[in-house]
Amino acid sequence: MRYDELMRAFLLAALLSAAASAQVCGGNDLSGGYGFQLSGSSSIAGLPKPMAAIGRVVFESGGHINGTSSVNFGGLFLGNPVTGNYTFQTDCSLTFELQDDSGAWQHFRGALEPGGARGSFHQTDPGTGGRGVLRKLPDACTAASFRGKFSVTIGSQKTVTVADGNGNLSSTGDTTNSGTYTVDSDCFVQLNFGVQLRGILVNRGSAVLAVQTDPGKVSIATFTAQ
C-alpha cells in the first residue's frame, strides 16, 4: 500500500472511531419525570456554606420544566415548587434553569446518557459549586416500590439496610438501627432510622437519592439495591 493510501486509511479509521465514541441522543430521550440530587457549597448569601438538594422535575414538551426542590442550606431545610426551561441537544448536552416561588433563578449545565435513564449536571451561577445527578423516575410509586436489601452511604457512614415493602427498615454496619419510611405517589420518600432523610425513589425502585433533614446537618445519602 502506498503512503497516501495508508494515510487515507488511517484518517478514515480515526473518523469512524470518533463517530462511534460520540454520544448521540434522540429528541425523546429527555422526557417525563426525573429525580435529582445536588451537593456542594454556595456563597450566594455571603460566606460559603454547605448545601444539599433533592427534587423532582418533569421535562415537558416545548422546553418547559415543573417540579419541587428541597434544599438543605447550612443546616436549614427548605422546600419550594419550581418551574423553568431547558435545552437538550443531540450530543446529549443539557442546560436548564429553575425558578422558585421567591422569583430567584438558578442555572445548570450537564449531559444525559443516550436513552435518557441518567445524567449528571453542575450549577453554573457565580458563587456556587454544586454537582449533581439526574435519574429517571418510575411511572408510579408506593411503599411496595421500595423493597429489598440496599447498600447505603450517609456522609461517611456505610450501612446495609433492608426495606420490607411495608414501611419498615432495618440496618447493620457502622451503626445498627431500625426505623420506618413512607413513599408518596410522586416518589418522594421520608426515612427515619437514626437520621431523618428526604429522598426520591429512582431507577425503577432500585435506588433512592436523599438528603439529611435533621436540624443543623448537611449531608447526602444514597441507597443502591444489592
Interval 45-68 mean pLDDT: 90
Residues 66/82, Cβ–Cβ less than 8 Å: yes
- Mean pLDDT of the 127-138 span: 94
The 10 Å Cβ neighbour count of residue 174 is 11
Give the pLDDT mean for 3-24: 53
Sign of CA dihedral 80, 86, 92, 93: negative
Position 76 scores a pLDDT of 78
Distance CA 75, CA 60 (A): 32
Which among 191, 172, 171, 195 is positioned nearest to 180, based on CA atoms?
A: 191
Residue 208, judged by CB atoms within 10 A of its CB (0-12, 13-18, 19+), counts as buried
191 residue type, one letter: L
Q: Rounded CA gap, 198 and 139, in Å?
A: 20
- Please give the Cα distance from 172 to 136 (Å, whole number): 28
| pLDDT on residue 11 | 47
For residues 169 and 148, is the Cβ–Cβ distance under 8 A? no
Contacts of 16 (CB under 8 A, 6+ apart): none
Tell me the pTM.
0.85
101 vs 75, residue with greater confidence:
101
Q: Which residues pair with 6 in a beta bridge?
A: none
Q: How many residues does the chain have?
A: 226
Q: What is the share, in percent, of the chain residues with pLDDT greater than 70?
A: 87
User: Higher-confidence residue: 175 or 190?
Assistant: 190
User: Is 50 exceeded by the pLDDT of residue 16?
Assistant: no
Q: Distance (Å, rounded) from C-alpha 209 to C-alpha 226?
A: 15
**What domains sit in the chain, N to C, each tagged with a CATH number?**
32-136 (2.40.160), 143-225 (2.40.128.10)
Please state, rounded to an integer, the average pLDDT across all residues of the chain.
88
Give the residue-averaged pLDDT of 137-148.
94
Cell numbers standing for residue 17: 472511531
